[in-house]
A and B are shown apart, each in its own frame.
Chain A
Amino acid sequence: MTRLTRLRDAVHGLPAGWLLAPAVLLLVGLFVYPTLEIAKLSLFDPGFTTQHFARFFGTPVYLRVFLHTGQISLVVALGCFVLGYPAAYFIVRMPPRWRPYVLFLILVPLWMSILIRNYAWMVVLGRTGLINSLLLGLGLTAEPLKMLFTTEAVYLAMIQILLPIMILTCYGVMVEIDQGLLRAARGLGATPARAFLAVFVPLSLSGVATGGIIVFMLSMGFFITPALLGGRRDMMMANLISYQVSTTLNWGFAAAIALVLLVSTVAAVLLFRAVVRTPAVGLR
């Protein structure tokens, strides 16, 4: 027996759970522990206090920012779904040898700094930007349109930034779906539309759900885009946290806001999972 095969057998002898140990250790050390510390910070300052949470829930401005954050995240997740789902389907249906190139093109913007992509939107949407210059030049408007510094600009940029994540997640699930099932449905007399809606859509739903959840969670923590492209009302929770951390040094209050953000995001995700029951048929 060579050393290598002995090693392989030894690894096989281990319960599979052990292989998770490094990841679990990392998560406990770098995520669970800091989160508990943040929870402590929000409730002890230095003695036990609920003042930070009372301040958050007792001040209308924070609740409004909280609701606005949820609204933006929801719209962005929906927008990513509407654009990302057909795109992923298109890629799955194209000849396999073309897929890597298209997937590469979708990945490219992910390697670009978010800051740069936000600035690019300013160049496109501004008063003297690309669209307005075109419209004014063609005589379609007399005054530049106000597009930059609006909530819609925030939606647009965030959807563009997060769309690749939605497409890739949907693609990952769709590519696993056995195309033979669709052919079988057609063979049994379903129209192409019926086969798509009754077979493909339910099977791809778990990808949509996962993609939507990831996009929603990432949106909840967004910070730069609303600050750069939004109007004065487009404050998000992360903007409040950053101010409390670096300017006023009120870390207890910052921790309380962060905890509200974390708990509400987790709650929203669980709620969504409960509503969209993901079928496990045909999927590993």
Chain B
Amino acid sequence: MRPSVSTAAKWVGVATALAWAAVAAAQGVTIVVNGSGGSLAQVIEKVYEKPFFEETGIRVKATAATDHLGKLKAMMQTRNIEWDATELNAEGYPIAVENGWLEPLDWKFLDPNNELPAEAKPKYGVVAATYSTILAVRTDKLPPGKEMKSWKDFWDVKTFPGPRSLRNDPTRNLEFALLADGVPKENLYKVLSTDEGLNRAFRKLDEIKPHIVTWWEAGAQPVQFLADGEVHYASAWNGRITVLAKKTPVKIVWNGGSLNLSYVVIPKGAKHVKEAHTYIKRTFLDPKRNAEFTAAILYPGFHPGIYKYLPEEVGRELPTYPANVAVQFAFDDEWWSKRQDKIKERWNAWLLK
């Protein structure tokens, strides 16, 4: 006798039950993933956390800290590791590595087919996103027939009069100043490493200082200033300017932009190291998911596969688009992590002058 329909149904039932059992075993595990909150958290929940839970049964509890590095230090000191994974910016990553606060990553598990370029596989972090600090221009405020194309133009207040804004921090501004002074982008950190080069950058900043009406602190500020017409030219983060461009005549100048990485890392002693690996692999390192994330937020990960899933007009607006990479410089987080404190002191003194 052939197996009846009901027998087949029974087998399907058993298989389903087994699958559910597997899911149930993983269930109950909740990993804590720390991010920056805001609209980014909403996108992460939609394209990363929810599908991940549906596939694996591992629940993701998202937390948002304003100060990732400081909180990580506090966790290490009190040995109460709350996070299973956390975002870390370019300046914070080398400090965390140096202090031994991070779990080494299992790259064989994360990238079994070796699809990622070697420079995208640091020992302790996955490149979760890339972002650029670029020059943003209100195109309707430009003098007729003129176009701002570089930091040299930003410094040229005769040809391009108007209020400007830069970030209240020496990082990147020293690089921008040297670019405006004619230093090729390959030599930026070599020049900055000498006292003479550092002085040169500050001297160049002296020139632009009277024309900077405000020094921004938070990424939302330059966007607001440009939207209100409070300033005509400003440094800003690329993703926010692309969004602003939908309603305001504003343009990104990629030339001389600072290309930065932001990492996702696993704190040393995290309670769910294995599950955190699974999470990272299936979200940040899944090109299709990452493409979905990128389309919403414009901060792409490092997986070369994502451009396959993105339309050309979105791709052009991204920091890692080949034509954009070619004209930017790579922000050197390690160089800065060693000198930040001292240079910031000088920066503050310079601002007060």
Residues of A in contact with B (beta carbons under 8 Å apart): 59-61, 64-65, 122, 126-129, 146, 148-149, 227-228, 231-233, 235, 240, 243-251
Contact = CB atoms under 8 A, between A and B. Distances in A.
A240 B163 CA distance: 26
A148 B230 contact: yes
Q: Is the interface of A mostly helix, strand, loop or mixed?
A: loop
Q: Is the interface of B mostly helix, strand, loop or mixed?
A: helix
Contact of B214 (A128, A149, A250): A149
B217 interface: yes
B62 interface: no
A235 B341 contact: no
Contacts of B349: 59-61
Contact of B345 (A59, A127, A228): A59
Contact of A61 (B69, B212, B229, B345): B345
A245 B212 CA distance: 27
Contact of A126 (B66, B230, B344, B345): B230
Enumerate the 3 nearest inter-chain pairs by beta-carbon distance, A residue then B residue, closest first. A61-B349, A246-B67, A248-B341
A84 B292 CA distance: 55
16 contacts: A60-B349, A61-B345, A61-B352, A126-B228, A228-B221, A231-B214, A232-B212, A232-B352, A233-B352, A235-B348, A235-B351, A243-B344, A244-B341, A245-B67, A247-B69, A249-B73
Contacts of A227: 168, 217
Q: Which of A128, A146, A233, A249 has the most CB of B within 10 A?
A: A249
B95 interface: yes
A126 B352 CA distance: 23
A149 B341 contact: no
Contacts of A148: 214, 230
A225 B229 CA distance: 21
Interface of B: 66-67, 69-70, 73, 91, 95, 163, 168, 209, 212-215, 217, 221, 224, 228-230, 340-341, 344-345, 348-349, 351-352
A255 to B, nearest CB: 13
A61 B353 CA distance: 9
A249 B228 contact: no
Contacts of B214: 148-149, 231-232
A156 B212 CA distance: 22
B229 A128 contact: yes
A146 B163 CA distance: 11
A227 B169 CA distance: 12
B228 A128 contact: yes
B161 to A, nearest CB: 12
Contacts of B212: 232
Contacts of B229: 127-128
Q: Which of B70, B168, B340 has the most CB of A within 10 A?
A: B70
Given A233-B351, A249-B73, 14 more contacts: A65-B352, A122-B230, A126-B230, A148-B230, A149-B213, A149-B214, A227-B168, A232-B212, A232-B352, A233-B352, A235-B352, A246-B70, A247-B69, A250-B341
B91 to A, nearest CB: 7
A266 B341 CA distance: 29
Nearest to B347: A61
